[in-house]
Amino acid sequence: MNSVYHPSFRKNIDLLKTFVWTDFKLRYEGSILGYFWTLVKPLLLFGVLYVVFSVFMRFPVEHYQLYLLLGIILWNFFTESTSIGMSSFVAKRSIITKVYFPRYILVVASTLTAFLTLLLNLVIFFIFVWVSPISFHLSMLFFPLYLVELYFISLGVTFLLSVLFVFFRDILHIWEVLLQIGFWTIPIIYPLSIIPEKYHRFIFFNPLTRIITYSRALFIEYHVPSFQLNLVLFSMTIFIFFLGFFIFKSRESSITEML
């Protein structure tokens, strides 16, 4: 029988749905604004940065409001999915030690919860696109591919971090520092053009730089990056995902013992 219809597969899917929906609801439990915070937080950050870098420190970037907002939304997803997913095993210690189920479900659930927030934030972005002078272009249909690659990169990194966190709790603080460094070394706020070209290859070594830059090109320049560039990004995505997953699987049996 096809594995898609196997009872254990359906059970895992149902469990995954339960974790995703429960985590999404609990995140804003007791909050007056509730799910509205998923939209407010990136908009507040966008508002502050937009005022600072479009009024006080002007950058020569066309449609800077869209340039900045898209970069913030994509970066926030990576930050949220990896930071929350990292502690998924520790946060659900009571469940893990009492009930057996595939441990990867917790990591996937945490990243999918963050992905739901990403989709809600993109609604705001597309509203900005709709009211801007930008018109629809076929290049924009390429955007879902970058979202999928962004998700699997985040998932691969989260697989790695979740295992490291079980054995080495200081990784949380190290990762927070690395995220701060990443925010300022990736052209999220500023244009790539202000960085000397000789350093571009180092910046594009980070796949997040490629995803953010290529996504902006679709909406602002109506341009789809070349096949070679997309092939490099795809290869990086595959490598990061499977590296994180294989390391996770190699240590999965030790997770319960360490908790």
Quick one: pLDDT band at residue 5, thresholds 50, 70, 90? very low
Domain span including residue 89? 3-258
- Model confidence over 105-124: pLDDT tens digits? 999 999 999 998 899 889 88
Q: What is the CB neighbour count within 10 angstroms for residue 100?
A: 8
What's the predicted TM-score (pTM) here?
0.87
Categorize the per-residue pLDDT at 233 as very low, low, confident or very high, splitting at 50, 70 and 90. Answer: very high
State the pLDDT at residue 259. Answer: 58
**Residue 58's pLDDT band (boundaries 50, 70, 90)?**
low
144-168 average pLDDT score = 95
Q: What share of the chain is helix, strand, coil (3-state, %, to 5)?
A: 80, 0, 20
Sign of CA pseudo-dihedral 246, 250, 253, 257: negative
pLDDT > 80? residue 27 = no
Using the predicted structure, report yes or no on whether residue 1 has a pLDDT greater than 50: no
**Across 78-88, average pLDDT:** 92
The residue-averaged pLDDT of 92-101 equals 74
Nearest C-alpha neighbor of 42 from the set 131, 139, 151, 127: 127
pLDDT at 254: 76
The total of structural domains in the chain comes to 1
Evaluate the CA torsion angle 43, 215, 66, 52 in order and state its sign: positive
- For 208-232, what is each residue's pLDDT tens digit? 999 999 999 999 999 999 999 999 9
208 in Cβ contact with 147 (< 8 Å): no
Average pLDDT for 73-83: 94
For residue 205, pLDDT beyond 80: yes
| Mean pLDDT confidence for 47-73 | 76
| H helix or E strand, kind and range, residue 126 | helix 104-131
